[in-house]
């Protein structure tokens, strides 16, 4: 029996995982990794924390849990896998089943045959077309080498940093730079931060927190060019909103799948411009597999192809590919776009579909915006968070996002599990979740959001989003904002608008005659639990134009200091 030849192109996440899994399944296989860089199997998601100083050395990003660096010698001695570093795979001859390559050190050309080929070539950072992107002091964050350069720059006199792009990497590096006492400005072309992950209500919470930490956030702003001094060192970012001085610029706009090899080899490319694969992660050539940031996947909630590059997905792909190139039949069902990250004291997470996704895809939905604590409200360590849940009109869970100082990730992970199981919101509130005052309230916030949506679907709750309320104010519509909080709460925080009428919930039944039945009434409180109760009370009194405002004042994504009489 001949020894199978497995060749892996790409040595960062998916590739090494596939090679290692293949080795465990087939001890006699001839396995080769081709990697154009000089670093292997590094944790790219850990780079912001190395820049910050939470991780002391870059070697820790490339080490096993036992502290052994995963270099070529490690793969050779421990895994029995040959690594060809600093080697570029130039082309694939599918008919001969050969990879043509060139050494980036010596320019020597060579080739390696394969029985099974794995493309784990990742993605490349997009370099925007504006002038000055090649100035000194302008960086991307694509490898630990970049992280080391950024850290060295920060420790050598850099005082003003500009981050172009408010995606996940941009936000994480913002905290890292601020930790080193740099003045940090984020410039984002879209109207909100992390626009691919968060809706406006949750994004605005994160943006306010960034500003509270001293970060200057410029959304809806386009970069026109980068300006440098006589030595070629960047010193300013020119935008359509003015000039921002800078000693260091990080470009973290987006990444695009690396598909050149696949295109040149005639492999099929998907709708998202990433490599198309089937459930076995096979390309259109059954002897070639692909995984990680270079491929598209099925989005399990929309049922459509999606490009969601994540390290967690790349590692899952690697294991499945390692199975299948050694005779297995493992499958990858798809993704839900689950992502979590940290921004100063805030935890942020998303899974499934957002409201923006539903609008874009034409999917009907019901939304609930529910602020609350991550533990019992009376427990001293309880921290706040705001959760947004999306469901179908029939009650099927579609997505959840959350932001705040509380334990967001726990709720996102439960939601991701519920989505994977196809649960309805009514089934989420039945989940036997762990309860103790330090960890959750008796009805966890995720279950509370599910109950809110269930009430809406069943006709008990009628709500309006804060964004819709703002639109009504801007349109100068005639309606009543019914604040049902107590006087002491109103004195601390209030929504300034001539439409606001304050009737505490405890007196509402006695004072119901003060409210007109021929106007729209929008009830609210701090989080709108009492707002919902007010709606039900007024329903019982014969009012038929009453709604409550989702999320209450905590969910209001605009400034409460602004006088909304003048909007």
Catalytic residue numbers, as ranges:
45
552 Ramachandran zone, left/alpha/beta (phi>0; psi -120 to 50): left
The closest alpha carbon to 218, from 175, 163, 174, belongs to: 163
185 Ramachandran zone, left/alpha/beta (phi>0; psi -120 to 50): beta
Its sign, for the CA torsion 159, 163, 166, 172, is negative
Structure tokens at 259: 């598909």
From CA 567, how far away is CA 507, in angstroms rounded? 31
Cβ neighbours for 118, distance < 8 A, ≥ 6 positions apart: 6, 7, 8, 9, 10, 14, 15, 18, 19, 288, 289, 290, 291, 321, 325
Say how many C-beta atoms besides its own lie within 10 A of residue 127's C-beta. 12
From CA 401, how far away is CA 419, in angstroms rounded? 13
Complete DSSP assignment for 142-195: SSHHHHHHHHHHHTTT--EEEEE--SHHHHHHHHHHHHTT-EEEEE-SSSSSST
From CA 332, how far away is CA 173, in angstroms rounded? 31
83 phi, psi to nearest 5 deg: -115, 130
Give ∠ CA 232-125-259 in degrees, rounded to 5.
Answer: 135
Cβ neighbours for 105, distance < 8 A, ≥ 6 positions apart: 86
Cβ neighbours for 502, distance < 8 A, ≥ 6 positions apart: 483, 484, 485, 487, 490
210 neighbors 204 (Cβ within 8 angstroms): no
Pairing type for strands 500-502 and 479-483 reads parallel
Listed in order, strand segments (DSSP E) in 304-391 are: 305-306, 339-343, 346-352, 366-373, 384-391
From CA 434, how far away is CA 46, in angstroms rounded? 30
From CA 472, how far away is CA 480, in angstroms rounded? 11
From CA 43, how far away is CA 57, in angstroms rounded? 12
């Amino acid at each position: 029996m001949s020894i199978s030849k497995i060749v892996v192109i790409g040595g960062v996440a998916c590739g090494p995982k596939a090679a290692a899994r293949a080795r465990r399944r087939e001890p006699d296989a001839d396995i080769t990794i081709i990697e154009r860089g000089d670093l292997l199997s590094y944790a790219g998601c850990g780079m912001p924390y190395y820049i910050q100083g939470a991780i002391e050395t870059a070697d820790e990003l490339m080490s096993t849990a036992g502290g052994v660096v995963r270099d070529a010698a490690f793969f050779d001695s421990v895994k029995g896998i040959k690594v060809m570093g600093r080697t570029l795979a130039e082309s694939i001859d599918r008919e001969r089943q050969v990879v043509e390559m060139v050494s980036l050190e010596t320019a020597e050309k060579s080739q390696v045959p394969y029985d099974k080929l794995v493309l784990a070539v990742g993605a490349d950072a997009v370099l925007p077309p504006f002038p000055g992107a090649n100035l000194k002091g302008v960086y991307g964050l694509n490898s630990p080498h970049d992280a080391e350069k950024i850290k060295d720059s920060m420790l050598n006199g850099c005082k003003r940093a500009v981050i172009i792009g408010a995606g996940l990497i941009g936000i994480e590096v913002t905290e890292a730079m601020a930790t080193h006492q740099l003045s940090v400005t984020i410039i984002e072309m879209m109207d909100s931060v992390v626009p691919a992950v968060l809706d406006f209500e949750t994004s605005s919470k994160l943006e306010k927190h960034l500003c509270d930490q001293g970060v200057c956030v410029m959304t809806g702003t386009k970069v026109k060019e980068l300006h440098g001094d006589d030595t070629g060192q960047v010193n300013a970012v020119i935008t359509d909103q003015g000039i921002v001085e800078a000693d260091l610029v990080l470009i973290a706009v987006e990444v695009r799948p690396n598909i050149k090899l696949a295109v040149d080899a005639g492999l099929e490319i998907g709708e998202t411009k990433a490599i198309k694969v089937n459930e076995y992660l096979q390309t259109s050539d059954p002897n070639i597999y692909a995984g990680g940031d270079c491929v598209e996947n099925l989005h399990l909630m929309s049922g459509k192809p999606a490009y969601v590059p994540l390290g967690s997905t790349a590692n899952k792909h690697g294991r499945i590919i390692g199975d299948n190139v050694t005779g297995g039949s493992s499958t990858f069902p798809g993704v839900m776009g689950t992502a979590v990250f940290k921004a100063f004291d805030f935890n942020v997470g998303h899974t499934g579909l957002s409201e923006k996704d539903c609008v874009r895809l034409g999917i009907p939905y019901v939304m609930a915006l529910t602020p609350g604590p991550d533990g019992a409200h009376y427990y001293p360590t309880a921290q706040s968070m705001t959760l947004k849940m999306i469901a179908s009109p029939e009650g099927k869970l579609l997505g959840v996002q959350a932001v705040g100082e509380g334990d967001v990730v726990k709720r996102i992970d439960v939601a991701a599990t519920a989505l994977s199981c196809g649960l309805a919101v009514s089934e989420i509130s039945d989940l036997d979740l762990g309860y103790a005052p330090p960890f959750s309230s008796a009805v966890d916030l995720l279950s509370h959001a599910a109950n809110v949506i269930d009430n809406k679907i069943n006709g008990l709750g009628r709500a309006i989003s804060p964004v819709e309320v703002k639109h009504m104010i801007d349109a100068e519509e005639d309606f009543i904002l019914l604040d049902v909080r107590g006087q002491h709460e109103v004195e601390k925080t209030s929504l300034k608008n001539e439409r606001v009428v304050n009737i505490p919930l405890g007196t509402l039944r006695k004072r119901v005659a003060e409210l007109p039945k021929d106007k729209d009434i929008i009830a609210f409180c701090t989080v709108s639990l009492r707002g919902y109760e007010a709606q039900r009370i007024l329903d019982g009194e014969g009012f038929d134009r009453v709604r409550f405002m989702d999320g209450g004042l905590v969910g209001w994504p605009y400034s409460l200091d602004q006088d909304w009489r003048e909007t």
